[in-house]
Amino acid sequence: MSEASSSVASERVRVARELHDGLAQDLAALGFQIDQVISQSDIENSARAKLRGIRAGLSEVLDQVRNDIFRLRSDETLPAEQILQNQLQSLVANTQIRIEISGQVFYNYELFRIIRELTANSVKHTTCTQITIRFSNADIEFTDNGAETEIYPAIGINGIIERVKKIDYRFEIFNSPKKFLLSKNL
- Tell me the pLDDT tens digit for each residue of 66-124: 777 777 776 666 788 888 888 888 788 888 999 999 999 988 888 998 998 899 888 88
What is the pTM (predicted TM-score) of this model?
Answer: 0.63
Residue 126 has pLDDT above 90, yes or no: no
SS3 7: helix
Residues in Cβ contact with 86 at an 8 Å cutoff, skipping those fewer than 6 apart? 73, 74, 75, 78
Phi-psi region of 46 (alpha: psi -120 to 50; beta: other; left: phi over 0): alpha
Angle separating helix axes 45-73 and 80-92, nearest 10 degrees: 120
**176 φ, ψ (degrees, to nearest 5):** -145, 100
Residue 58 has pLDDT above 80, yes or no: yes
Residue 65 has pLDDT above 90, yes or no: no
Q: Express each pLDDT in 27-57 by its tens digit.
A: 888 988 998 999 999 999 999 999 988 988 8
Other CB atoms within a 10 A radius of the CB of residue 4 amount to 8
pLDDT value at residue 143: 93
- Segment 133-140 shows an average pLDDT of 92
Other CB atoms within a 10 A radius of the CB of residue 114 amount to 24
